[in-house]
Amino acid sequence: MQCKSDRSEKTDSRDIDALISENLGFAQHRITYFLENLDVNTYPGSVDDNGLLKTVPAKSWEAGCLAGILWYLYDYTHEEKWKIFAQQWTAGLELQKFNKNSHDLLFMLFTSFGNGHKITHDELYSDVLVVGAKSLASRYDPEIKSIKSWDKFYQSQKIQFPVIIDALLANEMLFYVAGNSGDSSLYQIAYNHALNTQRDFFRADYSTYYLVEYDTVLNSVKEKKTWLGHDDESTWARGHARAIYGSALTFRETGDSSFLELAKKSAEFYMEHPRLPADLIPYWDFDDPDIPNAPRDASAACIAASGLLELSSLLPAGERGKYADFAISTLESLTSNEYRNKPNENFGFILKHSTGSRSWNIDVDKPKISADYYFIESLIKLDKLKDSIIF
């Protein structure tokens, strides 16, 4: 790795190698708990308020995370055992390819079958992704030009056509399948959805709304809201982290430079926010009035780190350092005893102090398998990118 003159020794190439190898070694020990104590196709999610393991069904957005972690461990170690485990925990998710009731198919299928296909090139996995992408595309409205997120009620009132910021990241499966299958309609759906997100979800300061409701008669924005965040005008940290990541991958897939600019601006909002703590692990919502006594969200930090590394990889070598450095510092904080579970703590989860939603009391200050997934993904990305960063 090339470094500019006075860069701190803690992030030289030797220490970055240690950061990667030590954490991935630690992850192998932690994840083994799940392999030894759960039946195949039992998917860990979090820990409940009584300290008991919470599992999630195959239709949950977090169901693919364990399989995804196993694929990453196989990719890193090349040890056959991780491949076998990954195949086992992937197989049980196949029926979700027919699930037309959720926009979360990226998190169910692309973490599992997608990583499996990228690493092994198994065409059976490709076939699953094609069907899954078509199921996701069935939620697209050609008049609104977006993919509908939910088919449910919002605070006891029917919401017409809700779209959430997370779906910008979910586009990755559509782009991937379009590139492999040649189905240009999937590409156009993903691109149109991204253009709507760019137009409707970002405020003037590049903070983000979580949810936009579209009017299905006028085909226009009806209302901008939150669901998991503190209030309608707040910025929910995990949603914003996904916006950074989703903007970067949209530029990667389309070459549309407006998304590169969007990724940079939304990243800078996050990185330079006055209420971002010194250790770079955000509060669950940037606008919670209880800050600094509000809960943190390690999962948002993990997604942001992966998104910033994605952004860094798309820039000329001399421009990568700013974003990669921030991601590395985030990973260093997550590696500390403050955020990493001790042996025999929290089952097989790697990290603690994540928050789903304080407003709804969902996984407040708990470990989350999705945090672990993006933590491992960030380390794998850093391993592949490290030699091209100029600080």
Q: What is the pLDDT of residue 158?
A: 74
Q: For 251-305, what is each residue's pLDDT tens digit?
A: 999 999 999 999 999 999 999 999 999 999 999 999 999 999 999 999 999 999 9
Coil, strand or helix: which one is 78? coil
Q: Is residue 1 included in any domain, yes or no?
A: no
Structural domain contains residue 4 = no
Out of 15, 49, 141, 166, pick the active-site residue: 166
State residue 75 phi and psi, 5-degree precision: -60, -35
Q: Give the number of domains in the chain.
A: 1
How many CA atoms are closer than 13 Å to the CA of 229, on its beta-carbon side?
Answer: 26
pLDDT of 141: 97
How far apart, in whole angstroms, are the C-alpha atoms of residue 235 and residue 373? 23
CATH code: domain of residue 336 = 1.50.10.10
- Concerning whether 104 is annotated as a catalytic residue, the answer is yes
Residues with Cβ within 8 Å of residue 387, at least 6 apart in sequence: 1, 13
Q: One of 75, 104, 285, 372 is an active-site residue; which one? A: 104
Residue 205 is assigned to a structural domain of this protein: yes
Q: Which of 83, 64, 56, 38 is nearest to 347 (CA)?
A: 38
| pLDDT tens per residue, range 129-155 | 999 999 999 999 999 999 999 887 655
Residue 307 lies in a domain: yes
Q: What count of Cα atoms within 13 Å lies in the side-chain half-sphere of residue 118?
A: 16
Specify if 2 maps to a domain: no
- Which pLDDT value is given to residue 159? 82
Distance CA 208, CA 3 (A): 34
Facing residues of 357 across strands? 362
Low-confidence ranges of the chain (pLDDT < 70): 1-14, 153-157, 391
Catalytic, 166? Answer yes
Assigned domain for 221 exists: yes
pLDDT for res 154: 56
Per the structure, the complete domain to which residue 107 belongs is given by 9-388
